[in-house]
């Protein structure tokens, strides 16, 4: 009995909790991608670097706050800096829309042209972020490190195995729930949100109904900026901030959005968790868990790790390929909001 | 005789920079009446209607609504002037509920539109029943009701329907025509393009037979149905 409990604790500590936190971050990222796809009808390859830009601003403001001695008690100061990051990112994406994307919208370009254009924007952002904050790792998490510490958990339960929940993991999940609830409320209950869904569903009829496309586009970018900054900041708090890592995040984020069905917000969330859980379970060394569960003589000698963690991106790729082969529209029907 | 409520007068034009599709074509409808455009495939029926709604260049001629020249207005601006348009396809927001479809129809209205919505529900009771269901999940006839209901939400003075009965069963078609007559009785002028020429002319106050983008025959619905030439050429004897 104790063994089973220990196994569960190990599983929770090394698989469930990290995967839930990572999944929330991916879900927020995928929501941004899926909104752009649904409303503006292209795959925004600049999303990863938009996240990096937003996070960078949050970090800079956090440092500034720290230098002035402002803190958020046990919570990371970065949360206080979030609104600044969102505002700066909103200016950035709406600016890039005015300067770049709007031209292609007016000339009614093909989605693939938009995709390439977003690649260009991605490179510009890439350089911009590295120019301002540099290519190196930045750690900006402060406040209380843990909600539950390993030692305390052991004392509390008397188990051999410990369980830790980092503050950043808790914050990630709570923030993700709040943000997603707010987003769905906005899309389903407000006039502007509904007009965004209508525009995504049937552009011509939306125009006939008097919905102003530029207004819809403006609100979409605003929401995307908020989602990207929040997702990036949560990821950075939980792990660390490195521009290249954010660029790499593009793959699992797109995989999540496509698995769920591009353009479907509910799908983006489900996809985020599918990708996160697959990545964590496939790259996790199961030896400890299995040793607890099976009789002593069956205990494995190896690590029982399907893929080493360096290959975690291969997991997203595999899922992406499988989904595209078997169910190209994703788990939920994609293509409209 | 005073001018009709809505008239596309001697329209000549085509899509973009393409060739002319309409040639000196005139379409008109009186207040509270039903005008039907019929004709063989490729006669420019839908094009004539789109011209009246401003979806293509009218190079010669004019469109006047209630005596006002609206030739230069965009389709969106014509909606503001009181014209409602139901396209032939993709005429609903499939992923949104019936009620949301109606709300989007009323998007340009800043006043309280709940009463208009009640009127639409009274006209199409089935929609009230399915108000919280996604419009894309409804049957063909019900979707058309959603489409017409959406267009009615702006309280238009003219309702334009592009083949409202395309792809629905004969029973549903009769039902839809009954509803369209009801809409006309409330004082809304109706201009529609119809594939089912005979049934459409039966309910029409005015009929236009187009051939190759020009007026071939014009008359009341009854006259056209009685016209031997029209019967032979377009109504199958």
Overall number of domains in chain A:
1
Residue appearing with tokens 């991106």 = A313
At residue B69, the pLDDT reads 94
Give me the mean pLDDT over the A96-120 stretch. 95
Query: Hey, is the C-beta of B155 within 8 angstroms of any chain A C-beta?
Result: no
Contact partners, residue B144, CB within 8 Å, separation at least 6: B86, B91, B164, B165, B168, B176
Contact partners, residue A299, CB within 8 Å, separation at least 6: A290, A291
Asked whether B221 and B201 are in contact (CB, 8 A), the reply is yes
CA angle A62, A68, A72 (to 5 degrees): 55
Q: Give the residue on B whose Cα is nearest the Cα of A334.
A: B95
Of the residues B91, B93, B110, B144, the best mutation for testing chain A's interface (the one with the most A CB atoms within 10 Å of its CB) is B93
Q: B80 by DSSP, 3-state: which?
A: helix
At residue B197, the pLDDT reads 87
Do A208 and B96 lie within an 8 Å CB cutoff?
no
Query: Hey, is the C-beta of B76 within 8 angstroms of any chain A C-beta?
Result: yes
> Does some domain include residue A169?
yes
Joined together, the tokens standing for residue A164 give 């830790």
Task: Kindly give the residue spans of alpha helices, DSSP state H, lying in chain A.
Answer: 2-11, 17-35, 47-67, 78-96, 102-106, 111-133, 150-157, 167-189, 191-201, 203-208, 213-238, 243-248, 250-260, 265-283, 287-293, 312-326
> Does some domain include residue A337?
no
Report which DSSP code applies to B137. G
Q: How many CB pairs under 8 A join A and B?
A: 60
Between strands B68-69 and B214-219, the pairing is unpaired
pLDDT above 80 for A337: no
User: What are residue B84's DSSP bridge partners?
Assistant: B159
Listed by number, the residues of chain B in 161-190 with a beta carbon closer than 8 Å to a beta carbon of chain A are: none
At residue A318, the pLDDT reads 92
The ipTM, to two decimals, is 0.88
Q: What is the CATH number of the domain that holds A185?
A: 1.10.3470
> Does some domain include residue A333?
no
d(CA B46, CA B162): 7
> Does some domain include residue A67?
yes
pLDDT band at A335 (very low <50, low <70, confident <90, very high): low
> Does some domain include residue A331?
no
With a pLDDT cut of 90, the percent of chain A lying above it is 76
At residue B70, the pLDDT reads 94
pLDDT above 70 for A225: yes
Chain A residues near residue B79 by CB distance under 8 angstroms: 208-210
**Strands across the sheet with B206-211, in order?**
B83-86, B158-162, B189-193, B34-38, B206-211, B214-219
Which tens digits make up the pLDDT trace of A39-50? 999 999 999 999
Q: What is the domain range of residue A35?
A: 2-326
Q: Give the residue on A whose Cα is nearest the Cα of B105.
A: A209
Q: Give the residue on A whose Cα is nearest the Cα of B88.
A: A205
Asked whether B184 and B190 are in contact (CB, 8 A), the reply is yes
With a pLDDT cut of 70, the percent of chain A lying above it is 99
d(CA B106, CA B86): 14
Chain B residues near residue A337 by CB distance under 8 angstroms: 95
Residue B62 CA: distances (Å) to CA of A245, B20, B25, B57, B87? 61, 15, 10, 11, 22
Chain B residues near residue A202 by CB distance under 8 angstroms: 90, 92-94
At residue A332, the pLDDT reads 85
Q: What is the pLDDT along chain B (237 residues), one digit of tens a residue?
A: 578 999 999 999 988 888 999 999 999 999 999 999 998 888 889 999 999 999 888 999 999 999 999 999 988 899 989 999 999 999 999 999 999 999 999 999 989 999 999 999 999 999 999 999 999 999 999 999 999 999 999 999 999 999 998 888 889 999 999 999 999 999 999 999 998 888 899 999 999 999 999 999 999 999 999 988 888 877 776
User: What are residue B62's DSSP bridge partners?
Assistant: B9
> Does some domain include residue A334?
no
Query: Hey, is the C-beta of B113 within 8 angstroms of any chain A C-beta?
Result: no
> Does some domain include residue A306?
yes
Chain A residues near residue B75 by CB distance under 8 angstroms: 207-208
Chain mean pLDDT for chain A: 93
The minimal CB distance from A211 to the residues B75, B95, B107 is found for: B107
Query: Hey, is the C-beta of B75 within 8 angstroms of any chain A C-beta?
Result: yes
CA angle B36, B124, A196 (to 5 degrees): 90
Which tens digits make up the pLDDT trace of A259-302? 999 989 999 999 999 999 999 999 998 988 888 888 888 888 88
> Does some domain include residue A332?
no
Q: Give the residue on A whose Cα is nearest the Cα of B54.
A: A208
Q: What is the pTM of this model?
A: 0.89
Do B76 and A210 lie within an 8 Å CB cutoff?
yes
Residue A229 CA: distances (Å) to CA of A48, A180, A221? 10, 14, 12
């Amino acid at each position: 009995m104790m063994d089973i409990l220990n196994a569960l604790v190990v599983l929770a500590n090394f698989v469930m909790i990290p995967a839930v936190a990572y999944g929330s971050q991916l879900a927020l990222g995928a929501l941004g991608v899926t909104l752009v796809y649904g409303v503006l009808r292209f795959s925004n390859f600049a999303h990863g670097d938009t996240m990096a830009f937003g996070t960078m601003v949050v970090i800079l403001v956090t440092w500034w706050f720290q230098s002035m001695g402002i803190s958020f008690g046990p919570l990371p100061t970065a949360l206080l800096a979030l609104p600044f990051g969102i505002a700066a990112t909103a200016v950035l994406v709406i600016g890039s829309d005015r300067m770049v994307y709007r031209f292609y919208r007016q000339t009614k370009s093909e989605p693939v042209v938009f995709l390439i254009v977003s690649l260009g924007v991605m490179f510009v952002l890439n350089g911009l972020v590295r120019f301002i904050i540099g290519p190196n790792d930045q750690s900006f998490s402060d406040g209380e490190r843990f909600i539950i510490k390993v030692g305390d958990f052991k004392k509390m339960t008397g188990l051999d195995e410990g369980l830790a929940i980092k503050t950043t993991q808790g914050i990630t999940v709570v923030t993700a729930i709040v943000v997603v609830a707010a987003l769905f409320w906005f899309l389903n209950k407000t006039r502007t949100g509904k007009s965004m869904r209508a525009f995504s569903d049937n552009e011509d009829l939306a125009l006939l109904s008097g919905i102003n496309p530029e207004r819809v586009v403006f609100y979409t970018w605003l929401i995307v900026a908020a989602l990207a900054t929040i997702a990036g900041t949560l990821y950075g708090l939980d792990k660390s901030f490195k521009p290249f890592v954010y660029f790499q995040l593009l793959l699992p984020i797109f995989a999540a959005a496509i698995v769920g069905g591009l353009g479907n917000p509910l799908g983006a969330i489900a996809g985020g968790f599918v990708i996160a859980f697959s990545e964590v379970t496939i790259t996790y060394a199961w030896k400890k868990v299995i040793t607890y569960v099976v009789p002593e003589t069956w205990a494995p000698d190896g690590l029982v790790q399907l893929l080493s963690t360096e290959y975690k991106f291969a997991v997203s790729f595999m899922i992406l390929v499988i989904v595209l082969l078997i169910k190209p529209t994703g788990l939920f029907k994609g293509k409209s909001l | 005789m005073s001018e009709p409520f809505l008239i596309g007068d001697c329209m000549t034009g085509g899509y973009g920079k393409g060739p002319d599709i309409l040639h000196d074509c005139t379409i008109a409808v009186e207040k509270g009446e039903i005008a039907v455009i019929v004709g063989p495939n490729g006669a420019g029926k839908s094009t004539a209607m789109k011209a009246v709604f401003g979806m293509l260049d009218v190079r010669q001629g004019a469109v006047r609504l209630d005596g006002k020249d609206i030739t230069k207005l965009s389709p969106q601006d014509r909606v503001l002037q009181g014209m409602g348009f139901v396209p032939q396809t993709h005429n609903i927001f499939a992923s949104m509920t019936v009620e949301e479809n109606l709300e989007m129809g009323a998007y340009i209205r800043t006043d309280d539109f709940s009463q208009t919505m009640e009127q639409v529900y009274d006209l199409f009771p089935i929609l009230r029943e399915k108000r919280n269901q996604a419009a894309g999940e409804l049957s063909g006839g019900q979707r058309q009701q959603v489409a017409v209901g959406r267009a009615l939400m702006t309280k238009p003075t003219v309702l334009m329907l592009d083949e409202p009965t395309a792809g629905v069963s004969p029973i549903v078609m009769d039902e839809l025509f009954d509803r369209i007559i009801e809409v006309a009785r409330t004082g809304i002028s109706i201009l529609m393009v119809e594939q089912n020429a005979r049934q459409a002319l039966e309910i029409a106050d005015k009929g236009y037979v187009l051939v190759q983008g020009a007026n071939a025959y014009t008359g009341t619905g009854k006259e056209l149905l009685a016209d031997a030439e029209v019967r032979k050429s377009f109504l199958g004897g």
